[in-house]
Amino acid sequence: MSTRQIYLESLPRDEALNRLLTALDQVGWGPQTEVVPTTDALGRITAAPVRAHISAPHYNASAVDGVAVKASDTFGATETAPITLRIGVQAHWVDTGDPLPPGCDAVIMVEHVNLLDEGHGQGDRCEILAPVAPWENVRQIGEDVVATEILLPERHPIRPQDMGALLAAGVLEVPVVRRPVVTFIPTGTEIVEPKPDPAPGEIIEFNSRVILSMVREWGGQPVRANIVKDDYDLIRRAVKEAVATSDIVIVNAGSSAGSEDYTVHVLKELGQVLAHGVAIRPGKPVMLGLIDGKPFVGLPGYPVSTWLTADLFVKPLVYRALGLPVPKRPTVRASLARRITSPMGVEEYVRVKLGRVGDRLVATPMSRGAAVISSLVRADGLLVVESDREGIGEGSPVTVELLRPLSEVQETVVVIGSHDTSLDLMGSFLHRKSGYYLSSAHVGSQGGLLALRRGEAHMAGVHLLDAGTGDYNTSYVQKYLGRPALLVLLARREQGFIVPKGNPKGITSFRDLTRPDVRYVNRQRGAGTRLLLDYHLRQEGISPAQVQGYDWELFTHLNVAAAVKAGDADTGLGIRSAAQALDLDFVPVAWEEYELCIPAELESHPGVQAVLELLRDPEFLKAVEALGGYDCSESGRIRRV
Amino acid sequence: MSTRQIYLESLPRDEALNRLLTALDQVGWGPQTEVVPTTDALGRITAAPVRAHISAPHYNASAVDGVAVKASDTFGATETAPITLRIGVQAHWVDTGDPLPPGCDAVIMVEHVNLLDEGHGQGDRCEILAPVAPWENVRQIGEDVVATEILLPERHPIRPQDMGALLAAGVLEVPVVRRPVVTFIPTGTEIVEPKPDPAPGEIIEFNSRVILSMVREWGGQPVRANIVKDDYDLIRRAVKEAVATSDIVIVNAGSSAGSEDYTVHVLKELGQVLAHGVAIRPGKPVMLGLIDGKPFVGLPGYPVSTWLTADLFVKPLVYRALGLPVPKRPTVRASLARRITSPMGVEEYVRVKLGRVGDRLVATPMSRGAAVISSLVRADGLLVVESDREGIGEGSPVTVELLRPLSEVQETVVVIGSHDTSLDLMGSFLHRKSGYYLSSAHVGSQGGLLALRRGEAHMAGVHLLDAGTGDYNTSYVQKYLGRPALLVLLARREQGFIVPKGNPKGITSFRDLTRPDVRYVNRQRGAGTRLLLDYHLRQEGISPAQVQGYDWELFTHLNVAAAVKAGDADTGLGIRSAAQALDLDFVPVAWEEYELCIPAELESHPGVQAVLELLRDPEFLKAVEALGGYDCSESGRIRRV
């Protein structure tokens, strides 16, 4: 526990990195050479131009199966005046690759030789019907490569075919750039090695695995140090050991201010702080320094910050050590789906989902929480809000760095709207059966219709009860989308109260939600499940203020179930499959229609068609029903509104 | 030695592959699953959707450093009417990541808390100036991921961030697709393991290293079997062993017809031949079959054929075993520099060099020899001449599969023309100093000027002696290029007779070339060095017919030197550096000017500028002079013609 304040600088990213790179130049830190066997050199970077040791071929070799001759012995041969040669004297059988016998300088293909005697022994003769030119059908010494020729330039990544050329030229060892050793020291008293059942307060250490995997992909040699507790002396010892054995040292601060504090003081004692605090978000508390002429990087603890700052500050070090420029991620231009605001003076990195809807590529900003590692799994790209901008307006053209191949983005059906547990299942089936990817974002039914309206998605999952008519979805689609659409039934599903095993508070009705001992957990505004609650509260004349927890909003059925499972709430309204997934009990309230709303103009999209096909696929529907609380008997039904 | 003829089929490529894939479908050959530790799963392909084992976070965690409270205790607090809480009773110090103490449902950031007493022990009090909402500054259970949620779909390549999400969700092991084991059996009595000093007739075995490196890049597990001599029983035994331990078996035929024959008979005995002979070039004798329900591929022996057929037939098998589609190489559209002819009924794969000259991307076909592995090192792309075409005309738009990133192609200065050993050196220096790549092709001085004229190159190396004026290059540039150009002196260089050590035949003059005991080796038509010979022969009244070997043409100085070194010729005209490189002697004849001809409109190209700068760089010029026979005192001199 610590209340110490750390006052961070707010250096521009470029300046922070340049301070470190300049300091490294001054101490002569850079690529080192080692010699490795050519057969182990795949992917390594040449440290110097590589020259052929021998010529290839290294002797004059027959290029065909046939007889080797002295060309001048064949001059004048024609079909009418063939020349006869004695085998073993003037003509010598050779296979492809055989060396030319002494005195020979050409080969006649076996197809063009007439044998005059049986067998092929010494003393046989053959007949030649046409002359050959000197060196015809011969691979002369050095045809491929001449000894001393440069085979590969320096700073060249060795590919399979390069290995072949090296070996052909007798180069059995090759000077390559040594892979820099990058040691990652995880710190924090609260962090633990990955385990299936951590206790509350134990934080699973996975940043090292993420960052060191990146290091491996970049071409470095990753080394993971043991977890170090928040203790000045322990951290100092770990850093000293790492500096002695590594080219680059990373300390991953625990997430609390205290552990970060130890790290910067260790850096001050052992070396030199070059930057502490960079004007980026996430990732501000990054630390750059030099110890014994080696770069030291302190990465912040929240996983998205760790990932981003490693990309911004460790990647350039690894590539510097390899003598290569930092490769740029491919980018695309897209249209921003929703306004982003960002403080002046800070360069902000926003994760986005991309979708090709119609002929527009649309970038939808994702949650900006730095703790949510799953957002990096789902993100399609990164968008940078420059430090001199306060934000980017809706519809603006933006440049997005791709985290996923554009071809996959193009082949993705985008579903934005209400959450349903069957959507993940749909993603797996869709990809297996059609090759299309499914990307789903949970913003509630109304949010989904607005996303459709803005052209961000191909379809929206909706289950909006019209309190007036008792009908689902139709009136909302007309109101929020405002253009012709299909409503395709995914499934009927059961809504109800998610309660702990055994329903200890005996919740059976909406009236029970007003009891002082019942803590409710709600869904966000615009969610169909919230409308369902409101509908029933109105029916029963209950005011929201009477429901303890009405203002506590979570975004998915599973999050509601998790809150009940944890004991933070006694109940929440949600679908049966969420209760079943977390082994909770369920008090049914109503069956509802969960439909996919698809703008009519997208009906012919092949990915949309693949989804429609899936909704008639018995294998898929059976898997959905197995989730619990689904009735797929009419799945695939289409209504046009 | 064998004169047996193998009669090959000539199956279309698609049909041959489909026969094999269909047969594999019938026997149920496909992806297998294994479970690996998540920490070892980088790059592996998920075999099934992967679900979260626990929620992340798995407890309600403070998102900041501060005091945890029950939100309702803070309701009503304002700056003028603060609420005081007892630390340890109503308020509890927490660091980021700490679990919320029982009864708490929110955290107040340390910055917003006023301490009323010194120290932070039990019994202290703090003052709250504003209320907090329930769950404010709390990372609730499942904020990132809820237990049972699908984290990764099936057939997903695991990236660094995916490993983080898996570990965060308590997933310590993950089902992945097993990497298919691919065993490569090199065969041939003449082939030997790589060595620095092979004897004539020994062929260095490197195809296995090339193909198995490709297998590794595709995601398979490469296994190299020992070299097997051309012996039916030995090959059969090796194949049986490989089939028992592998998913895919490759036999690389020796280059002679005999060894290929053994392989097909072994395949017939042990399994089933599905295709033998495919209508492609190079690579026609490829063999596809099935043994014990496993795919068998016989690859031809010439290295370019081996590489191509592995790409066409082994790659689809590896990806089929991984459950992934075969990734397509990126392609570009380019303009074909020279006509290609190709037989009807054969799909021909032509290696090309690419160059961005002006605003055109130009594809120049390379040598089509299947034995030249170095051509795969130098190739920028592959061009396919479809089987129903007899060729492609000069200037036609073509689609080229890239073997090198397009960005590198764009940053390449293309030099086509006379060969000079300093060009390789220039490539290394240019890249190190400017980032530009240099691509050089040796077609002789005249060929270089014609390539410039067609817009295939940025510059041409020329050393063309005008017999009339004694001047170098000017008149030829006017004649062959026909538009304004710069002539930039690379260096003066010494031409002379390359002779064996000690000059055993005592060659000192052109007259010596007419001696019956002197075998000459010449350069190709259009080469400046050949013009130099012709000039001197004319001067001395010698007819070409008097020179033994006048018609024997090689393409580079180094090839000439190699022919002398091998004893195939007694001398050839060439530059001193070539003699020096192969430790030969040299009889000087003349100094000549080797210039780079650059069309005037390309002068401002930044890559061209970088070359001009290099020609004034003392470090580079010193390195050129060290090659021997170069005078760089006027290098960089520019003449405009």
**Which residues are bridge partners to A381 per DSSP?**
A352, A402
What is the DSSP secondary structure assignment for residue A256, as one 8-state letter? S
Q: How far is A625 from chain B (nearest CA, A)?
A: 16
pLDDT at B1: 36
Name the residue with higher pLDDT: A291 or A8. A291
Tell me the pairing of strands A360-365 and A347-357.
antiparallel
Q: How far is B244 from chain A (nearest CA, A)?
A: 26
If pLDDT is split at 50, 70 and 90, which confidence band does B440 have?
A: confident
Closest residue on chain A to B549 (Cα): A134
Residue from A167, A171, A172, A195 to probe the interface with B (highest B Cβ count within 10 Å): A167
| pLDDT at residue B88 is higher than 60 | yes
Sorted by sequence, the CB contacts under 8 Å of residue A125 that are 6+ apart come out as A84, A85, A86, A87, A115, A116, A117
Helices B606-614, B422-434: inter-axial angle, 10-degree rounding = 120
Cβ–Cβ of B96/A206 closer than 8 Å? no
Residue A209: its chain B contacts at CB < 8 A? 38-39, 160, 163-164, 167
pLDDT at A3: 38
Cβ–Cβ of A376/B99 closer than 8 Å? no
Residue A428: its chain B contacts at CB < 8 A? 49, 150, 153-154
Cβ–Cβ of A566/B60 closer than 8 Å? yes
User: Of the candidates B93, B196, B369, which has its C-beta nearest A1's C-beta?
Assistant: B93
What would the two tokens of residue A165 be? 């050329």
Alpha-helix runs per DSSP H in B289-333: 303-309, 315-322
Q: What percent of chain B has pLDDT over 70?
A: 97
Q: How far is B621 from chain A (nearest CA, A)?
A: 17
Residue B141: its chain A contacts at CB < 8 A? 562-563, 565-566, 568
8 Å CB contact between B396 and B334: no
In one-letter notation, the amino acid at residue B602 is L
Closest residue on chain A to B214 (Cα): A160
**Calculated CA dihedral for residues A500, A501, A504, A508, nearest 10 degrees:** 80
Closest residue on chain A to B60 (Cα): A200
Long-range contacts of A272-276 (CB under 8 A, 24+ apart): A272/A23, A274/A16, A274/A19, A274/A20, A274/A23, A275/A9, A275/A11, A275/A15, A275/A16, A275/A19, A275/A20, A276/A8, A276/A9
Residue from A126, A184, A203 to probe the interface with B (highest B Cβ count within 10 Å): A203
Tens-place pLDDT, residues A318-375: 999 999 999 999 999 999 988 999 999 999 999 999 999 888 899 999 988 888 999 9
Question: What would the mean pLDDT of A397-417 be, rounded to a whole number?
Answer: 94
Helices B528-539, B444-453: inter-axial angle, 10-degree rounding = 130
Cβ–Cβ of A170/B217 closer than 8 Å? no
| pLDDT at residue B259 is higher than 80 | no
| pLDDT at residue A4 is higher than 50 | no
- Closest Cα to residue A594, out of A462, A478, A444? A462
**Which residues are bridge partners to A553 per DSSP?**
A522
Sorted by sequence, the CB contacts under 8 Å of residue A78 that are 6+ apart come out as A129, A130
If pLDDT is split at 50, 70 and 90, which confidence band does B2 have?
A: very low
Q: Taking the mean position of all CA atoms in its chain, how far away is CA B138?
A: 50
Q: CA B520, CA A367: separation in Å to the nearest integer?
A: 76
| pLDDT at residue B556 is higher than 80 | yes
8 Å CB contact between B591 and B483: no
User: Of the candidates B98, B198, B377, which has its C-beta nearest A165's C-beta?
Assistant: B377
Cβ–Cβ of B144/A566 closer than 8 Å? no
pLDDT at B117: 67
What would the two tokens of residue A423 be? 């959507």
pLDDT at A399: 97
Residue A3: its chain B contacts at CB < 8 A? 65, 93, 110, 120
pLDDT at B290: 98
Rounded to the nearest integer, the mean pLDDT of chain A is 93
Q: CA B59, CA A477: separation in Å to the nearest integer?
A: 39
Q: CA A423, CA A440: separation in Å to the nearest integer?
A: 7
8 Å CB contact between B459 and B420: no
pTM of the entire predicted model: 0.93
Closest residue on chain B to A203 (Cα): B97
Tens-place pLDDT, residues B537-549: 999 999 999 999 9
Q: CA A301, CA A311: separation in Å to the nearest integer?
A: 14
Choose the most confident range, by mean pLDDT, from B127-141, B357-371, B510-524: B510-524
| pLDDT at residue A211 is higher than 70 | yes
Rounded to the nearest integer, the mean pLDDT of chain B is 93
Cβ–Cβ of A373/B144 closer than 8 Å? yes
Tens-place pLDDT, residues A546-587: 999 999 999 899 999 999 999 999 999 999 999 999 999 999
- Closest Cα to residue A104, out of A65, A78, A72, A129? A72
| pLDDT at residue B158 is higher than 60 | yes
Helix/strand/coil (H/E/C) assignment for every residue in A478-531:
HHHHCCCEEEEEEEEEEEEEEECCCCCCCCCCHHHHHCCCCCEEEECCCCHHHH
Cβ–Cβ of B154/A431 closer than 8 Å? yes
Nearest 5°: phi and psi at B288? -125, 140
Residue B371: its chain A contacts at CB < 8 A? 63, 139, 143-144
Tens-place pLDDT, residues A137-158: 999 999 999 999 999 999 999 9
Burial degree of B586 (CB within 10 A; 0-12, 13-18, 19+): buried
Cβ–Cβ of B428/A49 closer than 8 Å? yes
pLDDT at A5: 45
Q: CA A108, CA B574: separation in Å to the nearest integer?
A: 31
User: Of the candidates A214, A255, A549, which has its C-beta nearest B96's C-beta?
Assistant: A255
Residue from B54, B75, B96 to probe the interface with A (highest A Cβ count within 10 Å): B96
User: Of the candidates B167, B214, B559, which has its C-beta nearest A142's C-beta?
Assistant: B559
What is the DSSP secondary structure assignment for residue B99, as one 8-state letter? B
Residue B377: its chain A contacts at CB < 8 A? 151-152, 159, 161-162, 165
What would the two tokens of residue A311 be? 């990309």
Question: What would the mean pLDDT of B269-293 be, rounded to a whole number?
Answer: 95
Q: How far is B171 from chain A (nearest CA, A)?
A: 7
Question: What would the mean pLDDT of B553-561 be, rounded to a whole number?
Answer: 93
Q: CA A347, CA B26: separation in Å to the nearest integer?
A: 56
Cβ–Cβ of A257/B96 closer than 8 Å? yes
Strands (DSSP E) found in A117-247: 125-128, 138-139, 150-152, 173-177, 181-186, 191-192, 203-204, 221-224
Rg of chain B (C-alpha set): 35
If pLDDT is split at 50, 70 and 90, which confidence band does B424 have?
A: confident
Closest residue on chain A to B61 (Cα): A201
State in Å, rounded, how far the first CA of chain A is from the last one: 59
Question: What would the mean pLDDT of B488-514 be, rounded to a whole number?
Answer: 97
Cβ–Cβ of A149/B558 closer than 8 Å? yes
Question: What would the mean pLDDT of B373-393 be, rounded to a whole number?
Answer: 94
If pLDDT is split at 50, 70 and 90, which confidence band does A395 have?
A: confident
User: Of the candidates B98, B369, B563, which has its C-beta nearest A201's C-beta?
Assistant: B98
B21-51 burial: b if 16+ Cβ within 10 Å, else e:
bebbeeeebebeeeeeebbebbebbbbbbbb
In one-letter notation, the amino acid at residue A456 is E
Q: How far is B421 from chain A (nearest CA, A)?
A: 8
User: Of the candidates B207, B549, B581, which has its C-beta nearest A164's C-beta?
Assistant: B207
pLDDT at A260: 65
If pLDDT is split at 50, 70 and 90, which confidence band does B363 have?
A: very high
In one-letter notation, the amino acid at residue A10 is S
What would the two tokens of residue A11 be? 């250096």
pLDDT at B258: 61
Tens-place pLDDT, residues A104-123: 999 999 888 888 866 555 55
For chains A and B, CB pairs below 8 A equal 344
Q: CA B368, CA B375: separation in Å to the nearest integer?
A: 9
Tell me the pairing of strands A138-139 and A340-341.
unpaired
Q: How far is A345 from chain B (nearest CA, A)?
A: 22
| pLDDT at residue A17 is higher than 70 | yes
8 Å CB contact between B101 and B61: no
pLDDT at A120: 53
Question: What would the mean pLDDT of B31-52 be, rounded to a whole number?
Answer: 97
pLDDT at A124: 83
Long-range contacts of A283-287 (CB under 8 A, 24+ apart): A283/A308, A283/A309, A283/A312, A283/A349, A283/A370, A284/A8, A284/A10, A284/A346, A285/A6, A285/A8, A285/A253, A285/A260, A286/A16, A286/A312, A286/A313, A287/A251, A287/A253, A287/A260, A287/A263
- Closest Cα to residue A591, out of A635, A532, A550? A532
Residue A141: its chain B contacts at CB < 8 A? 562-563, 565-566, 568
Cβ–Cβ of B552/A134 closer than 8 Å? yes
Tens-place pLDDT, residues A428-481: 899 989 999 998 888 889 999 999 998 889 999 999 988 888 889 999 999 999
pLDDT at B4: 44
What would the two tokens of residue B459 be? 């510059």
If pLDDT is split at 50, 70 and 90, which confidence band does B260 have?
A: low
Q: CA B340, CA A268: separation in Å to the nearest integer?
A: 67
Closest residue on chain A to B218 (Cα): A160
Cβ–Cβ of B160/A98 closer than 8 Å? no
Question: What would the mean pLDDT of A606-630 be, rounded to a whole number?
Answer: 96
Cβ–Cβ of B120/A2 closer than 8 Å? no
Burial degree of B395 (CB within 10 A; 0-12, 13-18, 19+): middle
Residue A405: its chain B contacts at CB < 8 A? none
pLDDT at B6: 54
Residue A54: its chain B contacts at CB < 8 A? 196-198
Tens-place pLDDT, residues A256-307: 566 667 899 999 999 999 999 999 999 999 999 999 999 999 999 999 999 9
Q: CA B459, CA B461: separation in Å to the nearest integer?
A: 7
User: Of the candidates B39, B93, B371, which has its C-beta nearest A139's C-beta?
Assistant: B371
